[in-house]
């Protein structure tokens, strides 16, 4: 299978195998008016298998969202066919409007304009900033 290189855009590499389509939807890439390639189960020396997303356009993406769904992913920014920037993504300390609090008593369920904020604890789990409910 051949997937052409891109001239200007981004490549999200080292996505946990099987997570590319979920990430594609969460990032809203289906609404773009450019070429987007989703490549799944690519052989990888480090990971065994990985997914890759290539976007043939310069767009802003939510790095925290990528980090939450696929820690250890990399994001490469491509200009004129060359990588000009490479970001290694880790688990974010805070998640804003990425997941929703499931607690029916949380203020975020009654006040629609309040952002859903989760903070990573020392144990690595995420808890709601307002009511401390653990994220599922």
pLDDT in tens, 106-125: 999 989 899 999 999 999 99
C-alpha distance across the termini of the chain, in Å: 37
What pLDDT digit, counting tens, does each position of 8-61 carry? 999 999 999 999 999 999 999 989 999 999 999 999 888 899 999 999 998 899
Spatial separation of the C-alpha atoms in residues 65 and 23, rounded to whole Å:
8
Q: If you average pLDDT over residues 91-104, what whole number do you get?
A: 94
Residue-level pLDDT at 47:
86
What pLDDT digit, counting tens, does each position of 64-76 carry? 999 998 988 999 9
pTM of the entire predicted model: 0.83
Domains of the chain (ranges; CATH) run 9-88 (3.30.70.140), 94-128 (no CATH)
Residue-level pLDDT at 12:
96
Q: Are 102 and 133 in contact (CB under 8 A)?
A: yes
């Amino acid at each position: 299978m051949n997937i052409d290189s891109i001239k200007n855009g981004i490549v999200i590499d080292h996505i946990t195998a099987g997570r590319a389509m979920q990430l594609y939807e969460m990032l809203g890439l289906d609404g773009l008016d450019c070429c987007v390639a989703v490549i799944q189960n690519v052989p990888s020396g480090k990971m065994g298998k990985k997914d890759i997303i290539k976007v043939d356009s310069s767009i802003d993406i939510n790095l925290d969202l990528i980090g939450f769904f696929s820690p250890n992913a990399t994001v490469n920014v491509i200009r004129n066919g060359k990588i000009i920037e490479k970001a290694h993504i880790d688990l974010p300390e805070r998640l804003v409007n990425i997941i929703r609090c499931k607690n029916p008593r949380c203020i975020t369920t009654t006040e629609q304009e309040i952002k859903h904020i989760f903070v990573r604890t020392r144990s690595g789990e995420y808890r709601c900033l307002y009511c401390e409910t653990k994220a599922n």
